Each structure stands twice: as C-alpha cells, then as structure tokens.
Chains A and B, each alone.
Chain A
Amino acid sequence: MEKFDVIVIGGGPGGYVAAIRASQLGLKTAVVEKEHLGGICLNWGCIPTKALLKSAELLQKIKHAEEFGIFTEKSGFDIKRIVNRSRNISAKLVGGIKGLLKKNKVTVFEGSAKIISSKSVVVEGKDQKISLEAKNIIIATGARPRILEGFEPDGKNVWTYREALMPESVPKSMIVVGSGAIGIEFASFYNALGVEVTVLEAAPQILPMEDEEISAIAKKSFESKGIKFYTGIKLESKTINNKKVKVEFLHNGAKKSLDAEVLLMAVGITANTENLGLENTKVKLDRGHITTNGVCQTAEGNIYAIGDVAGAPWLAHKASHEGIIAVEHIAGKKPHELNKLNIPGCTYSTPQIASVGMTEKSALAAGYKLKIGRFPFYANGKALILGDTEGVIKTIFDVRTGELLGAHMIGSDVTELIHGYVINKSMEGTELDFIEAILPHPTLSEMLHESVLQAYDKPIHI
C-alpha cells in the first residue's frame, strides 16, 4: 500500500495549490481527482466565465468603435466560437496544471476518494480500487450549485452555470434567479449578446454582499443596458410549456409571473461532503460545510478542509491560500493568517465590481467612525481615454487609526485595481501609505490615490 505524507482529495485551485506547496516542502503528496484537474475554477467556473465575458466586452467595445475613429464593416458573433475559445483556454490551463503537478512530483490518482479512517483513503477508479495510507488528508472537494425544490435544472430550459457556459444557441430571453457574482456575470454576458434578461433576487439589493452604494450604482448601470431587476422576491413555482419557462414569484407582496426561454438558477452552492466517508472520521459539519480552525484543521487533527467545502467566501484565491496554510501547518511551519477581511471579491460583468473589507454599513454597525472617499471615473484622464467613464472608487477609513476598513469599486478594470488596496490591508498600512505613494499617470490606478485624498478632504481632481 502506497504511503503518502499528504493526500489531497480534489484537484481544484485549493487542491492542486496545496499539492504543489506540499511537494516544495518535501512532503510526499498525492492528489485524487474524479473529474478534471483545475476543478470548477478552471473548467466550469472562473476561467471559462471570464473568457466568455471578455468576448462580450469586446463585442460591446466594437459597437462603439466609431467613437475611437475606427470603422468596422459588420459586427457580429458566433456563439460556438465564443464558447470554444473559453473551452480551449480551460483545456490549456488544465494541461498546465498537469505539468506543474508532474514537475513537482505529485502523484495524481484518477477516481473518487473515500476516507476509510483518518489515515487511509480508497480511490475508486474506472476499473480499480486502490488503497492508500496517509499521514495527513486535505479535503478539497469543492461545491456544486444549490438546487431549490421545484427548480431543478433539466439541461434544457432550466439551467445552472454548466449549461450557461456552453450554450448551444443564444436564447431570446432569460430569467436569472440570484444576483450574486455568478448570476450578475451571466446576466451581463447574455445581455451583451442581445438576450432579454431579467434578474430575480430575494435580498433587498442586488449583489447582496457588496456595499449598498456600489450595488445601487451597478443596478442603475445594468438597467441602462436593458437588464431588468426584481429584488425582495420570493420564488413560488415554475412551469414549462411550449419550450418556455414561466416563473411565478411574490414581489412586494404582489404575485407576479414572467416567462422566458431559459431559467438560469444561480442561488448559491452546496458543499460536496457526501460519499467521502466522513462518517468514518471525527470531521464535523455545520450547515453543510466542514468546520475548520484557523489553520484549516477539521475536528480530526490530521484531516484538513480547504476551499468551497470549508465555507465562505467561495473564492478560488481563498481556496489556494487555505491550501498553503494547511500544508505549511502540516509541515510544522507557522503559516500566514487568513484574514477574511483581506480577501477581495470580484464580479467580472460590465461594468466590473471589486471590493475588499467591510462595507460602509457593516463598519458603522461595528462602531467605527468613518472617513469615506469617493472618486468618480469620469474625473480620471485614463478613463476618458479608454472611453470607460462610468464607475467610482470608494474607500472607507477608520477615523481613529487611519486603517483602510474597506474598498469598493465599480468600473472598468477594477478587478485588477483592487489589488492595490488588498496589499495595503495585508501590510496593515494607513491612509498615509496611499497619500505618499506616487502612482503613475495617466492610469486608472491614480484613482486609488485620489479616493484616499478625497477621504481626507484634500482631493485634487474632484
């Protein structure tokens, strides 16, 4: 029976990163992957969605090409080619992961893993069962779309992101249930392709995790592009007839119904904890996900859980860092801390949305006295050059210590810009670090500096 220092169950952004790091630290490591390396992120999530969105973004830019003094004969798109491009990128990256794991001498087992005891794992492959011994196990099995009773996906009219990523054809109309990052990204994508999109959201604001102000700006922007929203809704039922889906729901107490060709469900995720053999261990669950401590250990000391299976936020970069933390802990090192307030969240719609830290509401609720800075894209030179003048960079500071409590932005490329604030928070900077940093001109990044100036009552360009 092969013995490993670490067996990683799941080869997604949590699992493969953990495996590579474990190898770097000299631990004999195996990854068990039942579908494809790269997990949801590379194959059915982050990567393909952003590839689709890039095509949509380009389509929209081309529609405005004349503004830039450029003529295009005819603009159009081929959905199959858009999808293929995203599949090719995924495939390339998956190949890359295979290469990295090989380079780092990580053994990859194809099959489903089942934990027999805290020290042994059985891999059920296509034709064989292999028993493995492990000093430590890292569970990185991820999550799958949450399914609401009565709204189960059927692959035809009721979709989840899987179908949405590989549409055979572009529907004429679509209802998206859920306005988190996934729902909004698909709404934005399909809207760019000319689909009539309506988004239904149970919470009082779209993008419920984002700062209220940003969410309101986003809604206005999406509405101006033709996307319709209903917030504060309660789903009732759906019926399918004649290739159309009719959705009935309550909105402000009144009954409403809408129909569309496709119903896309994007109402959250459910952790993949079933059939893992957790009942053979001391691992505990809480509301569906595995509970862990500050170094990703489960209730069973040598079993760790990382990524989506271990809880929010359900982000690839969070999974990767948890992978590193778990492995460094296994190797007896002092891992860096995962501070949830320093994890950025990004939505790659047009306009993009990005944020890190506390919202204005939560900072006030926590008792902080705030200094808030806002800098609009329309006042930035580069934004005008890019032709992307909608958006704002909002910064929230603790009056007493100058700590950047939160940064929230909407506009072109904010998913890249957010890193400036993330680094400052990670290093525990203060407002002075931004005020004194010399950012290049003309760039969008200057707005990071200007928003802080505005927070401290000395803006130059607004």
Chain B
Amino acid sequence: MPIKILMPALSPTMTEGNLAKWVKKEGEKISAGEVIAEVETDKATMEVEAVDEGIIAKILIPEGTEGVEINSLIAVLVEEDEQDADLDAFIAKFSTSQKPVEKIVEEKTEEPDKMKPASISAPTSTSVQGVSTNKRIFASPLAKRIAALEGISLSNIMGSGPHGRIIKNDVLSAAKNSKGTIRRDNEEYRLVSNNNMRKVIAKRLLESKLTVPHFYLSIECVMDSVLNARAQINSSFNSDKDKRLSVNDFIILACAKALKEVPTANASWTDSAIKLYNNVDISVAVAIEGGLITPIIKNADQKDIVKISTEMKDLAKRARENALAPEEFQGGGFSISNLGMYGIKSFSAIVNPPQGCIMAVGMSSKRPVVIDDKIEIRTIMDVTLSCDHRVVDGAVGAEFLAAFKKYIEAPILMFV
C-alpha cells in the first residue's frame, strides 16, 4: 500500500509554504528519521523528516514550488516490490479534494478556485495539470502515431500495456468511444489582444453609429455593359495580366463621375457649415488581416480607368503589407465598400466620419428582370448608399445614385 507524504505544518499558524528542496530523489530508499526535503515559510527554512521507510515512488511537487498548502500530497512512498501501476489510481483518489497547485502563465486563471477533477478519465487541459505537474505519458510509438492521426489527446487515456503504457488498442477504443460524445473545452475562452487598428475601427465606427443619423437608399444596377466593356478591354491586354481591370475599378470611376455631377454628396457636416469638398477623393475599403483600412484614390474623376486600376492594385497590396503612409488612408470625401467577392447580395455600410456617405456594393448575379413587359435575364448588382442625414438628404442621395447608375449601366459615358 503506497504511503502518502504530505506537506507538513511547521508551525501552528502555517497554512502554506515553499517546497524549497528535495534532499532525496525519486527511486531513493529512505528510512524513518531521514531528512527528505526542505520547506520554507516566511519565518524560516525547516527540514522535513520521513516518518515511514520505503522508496520514493513519485515526487509530485517539484523543487521550488511556492504556496504549497499544508497537508497537500507532495510525494508517495512505496514499499519495495510494489507495482507502480497502482500509484496513479492512488494519487488520483487522494487528490480529488486537493486544490491544484499551479504555476500559471496565462491571464485567464484569475479563478484559482476552479478545481479540475484529477481523475484520469475526465478531460484535462494540457496547460494546467491536477496534482502531478509535468507528468510524462508512456505510450508505445504506434499508439502515439495513431493518437496524432486521430486527433486524440493521450492525456485522457488509461494505458493497459506494460507498466500502464498506452497501447494501440487503448487509443483505438478511446477513438471509438469519443465519437458521438461532446467534448467540452474546460477553458471557456481565449483572449486575443486588440491591436491599434482594431481599437481605431471600434472607436470610429461606434462614434459614427452613436452620432451620425444614418439613412439608407438602395438601387439595382444592370451590369452587363460594364462586364462587356471590361472583357473587351482586358482581352486587349493579352499578355499583360497585371493590367487587367476589375469591376470595382469601373465602380470607382462611376462614383467619381457621379460625385462630380452631384457634388453635394461629396461633403461633411460641421456645426456651422457643410464642407463641400473641392476634390473627388474616394476612400476604398480593403480587407486586411485582422481588420480593414480605406486607402484613397485622389482626384478619381480625373484619372482614366487604367490609372485607377493600377493605383488601386498598388494601394491594396501595400495595405495588406501595412505599408501605407498616413495621407494615403486618412481623409477622403466619400467611401466605397465592396463585399461582392464574398458573395454578399447587399448590405448597408456605416458612414466613415466625417464623410457624408458610404456606398455598399454587393455581388453581381444573373437575375430575371422585366423589360418591355417581358422577362429577360440581366446581371444585376445591388448598391446601398448610407447617408449622414445632417449633410445629405434623401433627394441628394437619390440624385447621386441615379448618376452612378447612369454611368455604371452605360460605361461608355464615363469615357466621354
């Protein structure tokens, strides 16, 4: 029968101490009265003597562990010739009443009272063990491989091989038994720190939703002509694949032309006056890792579509590399957000203060439409304009969208 070695109380008031040093090691034979460890309290360092004799089968609290509660299990003695396999069960039985002694690295363990059941069959998280820290798992090479292939954690498995070794059959049984059972992660969540971009997006868009009176206007655009034009222009580029235009490039140009026609949509609210921008600078939302950013195409109305396309490609590339200069994404009078490539049919974006509008573009798709009382098939794209009602009224927004629609449905007009 294994013998427990408990953390001794070296004074009546002691509740916990540091296990400063193990004088005897695992596997060493000890006799009654021999010093086996040194324990530190805030008052002094004391030697711990063995009461029984035997062989130290397992040391559960490593040297240097602080805050070891009195009466917690620090080591187990066995008499000679005892089998190790009994040990684990013995330790598990004793330690269900134990608070885990942890050296915690992660922030989430502000809950030291969360007791993990130390019995081997319950799933244990791999970072925090019950009583035995750094327990080596014995498994045959084949069992380890199969566990890895099946995605099974070895720490949950009882070994039935020699000396409690986990063998192939143990892993296969565990795999069979785990199918259909729900495995709950004991860690409720994990934390991802907010980077600057996240913080800025959060601040600005919260501010926008709280302070900007939003309203939303939607239209449908027939995209067939744009798609044709794009195909024609792109085929003329032949070998120069980098020059190929995207639908978004047409959208940017169409917006720019529309803003030139309806300048009141290119404006900002201030308490005393409405700022009407003299330049058509369009912010184009680009998704990057962990968030999004809006690089600006400046004077977009004066640039030809190839230039817009080239600039956009470069800005997007550098945006993803976090290589944009501040003036390249701070500013702009009007924003475009395109989620078409993600399969979104339509959506309403949040106005980017201090801008007055943001245009949300969805995916183009073939839909049935009524033309001259007949059902035809056209490629349709949904566009939704979010407006700051302080600066842009419904009529203005509608006018802008009508202009945009005119250009995008007959792109040849953009080149006039």
Contacts and interface: CB of A to CB of B under 8 A. Distances in A.
B142 A336 contact: no
Interface string A409-440: 00000000000000000011110110000000
A433 B144 CA distance: 13
B162 A428 contact: no
B167 interface: yes
A401 interface: yes
B96 interface: no
Contacts of B394: none
A430 B162 contact: no
Interface in B162-211: 162, 167-168
B370 to A, nearest CB: 58
A403 B143 CA distance: 10
Contact of B149 (A336, A400, A427, A429): A400
A336 B145 CA distance: 22
Interface in A325-361: 336
B140 A401 contact: no
A430 B141 contact: yes
Nearest to A425: B142
Contacts of B402: none
Nearest to A428: B140
A402 interface: yes
B143 A428 contact: yes
A403 B171 CA distance: 14
B141 A429 contact: yes
A429 to B, nearest CB: 5
Contacts of B143: 428
B146 interface: yes
Contacts of A400: 149
Interface in B126-157: 140-143, 145-146, 149
Nearest to B142: A428
A397 to B, nearest CB: 11
Contacts of A403: 142, 168
Nearest to A432: B141
A402 B142 CA distance: 7
A427 B140 CA distance: 7
Given A336-B162, A427-B140, A428-B140, A401 B149 contact: yes
Contacts of A401: 142, 145-146, 149
A380 B2 CA distance: 53
A338 to B, nearest CB: 14
Which of B140, B142, B162 is packed against the most chain A CB atoms within 10 Å? B142
Given A400-B149, A401-B149, A429 B142 contact: yes
Contacts of B140: 427-429
Contacts of A429: 140-142
A430 B144 CA distance: 10
A328 to B, nearest CB: 13
Contacts of B141: 427-430, 432-433
A402 B143 CA distance: 11
Contacts of A430: 141-142, 145
A433 B140 CA distance: 11
A8 to B, nearest CB: 26
Contacts of A402: 142, 145
Nearest to B161: A428
A400 B150 CA distance: 11
Nearest to A334: B160
A442 B138 CA distance: 34
A189 B162 CA distance: 41
Nearest to A336: B162
Contacts of B142: 401-403, 428-430
A401 B148 CA distance: 10
A436 B258 CA distance: 72
A427 B146 CA distance: 14
A87 B92 CA distance: 58
A396 to B, nearest CB: 15
Interface of B: 140-143, 145-146, 149, 161-162, 167-168
Closest 9 CB pairs of A and B: A428-B140, A428-B142, A430-B141, A429-B141, A401-B145, A403-B142, A428-B168, A430-B142, A401-B146
Given A401-B142, A402-B145, A429-B142, 16 more contacts: A336-B162, A401-B145, A401-B149, A402-B142, A403-B142, A427-B140, A428-B141, A428-B142, A428-B143, A428-B167, A428-B168, A429-B140, A429-B141, A430-B142, A430-B145, A433-B141
19 contacts: A336-B162, A401-B142, A401-B145, A401-B146, A401-B149, A402-B142, A403-B142, A403-B168, A427-B140, A427-B141, A428-B142, A428-B161, A428-B167, A428-B168, A429-B141, A429-B142, A430-B141, A432-B141, A433-B141
